[in-house]
Structure 1
Amino acid sequence: MNFEKLIQHQAEQVFGSKAKANIWLSQPRTVFSGATALECVRDEAGYRRVRGVLDRIEHGFVS
């Protein structure tokens, strides 16, 4: 399964554009211990973690 493509699609939905999604996905985040979201989605556990953060952002619980 291509977790990177799945998370890219979700991020585009959350942020409203591919450009904004790419910025968020490619910058180191404290919530991911200084890693980028794309670095985290290399396996299913990381994908679920990033997906959860995007879900919280989408619902107004910014972390």
Structure 2
Amino acid sequence: MNPIELILLQAEQVFGNKAKADAWLNQPKASLGNQSPIELARNEVGYLMVKDALERIDHGYAG
């Protein structure tokens, strides 16, 4: 799987469904430099930032 596919899968697991995951992934986030998570995840550093954000959300630390 490529990084984008991994982020899509992780987001669906965190949010419980594809629609909520897509909404989160496609909206710019201040915590991610006002970029959308899906755009940011296209390079290795951005991928790691988005992965970390999803892990924090999954553990109840951020939104």
Fold similarity call, TM over 0.5: yes
Instruction: Give matches, 1:5-44, under 5 Å.
Output: 5-44=5-44
- Which aligned segments of 4 or more residues in structure 1 are displaced greater than 3 angstroms? none
Taking structure 2 as the reference length, what is the TM-score of the superposition? 0.93
- One-letter code aligned to 2:43: D
Aligned residues: 63
> Which residue of the partner structure matches residue 47 of structure 2?
47
Q: SS where residue 35 of structure 1 aligns?
A: coil
Identity of aligned residues (%): 48
* Deviation for aligned residue 1:29: 0.4
What is the root-mean-square deviation of aligned Cα atoms in Å? 1.1
* Deviation for aligned residue 1:62: 1.1
> Which stretches in structure 1 are left out of the alignment for 5+ residues?
none
Taking structure 1 as the reference length, what is the TM-score of the superposition? 0.93
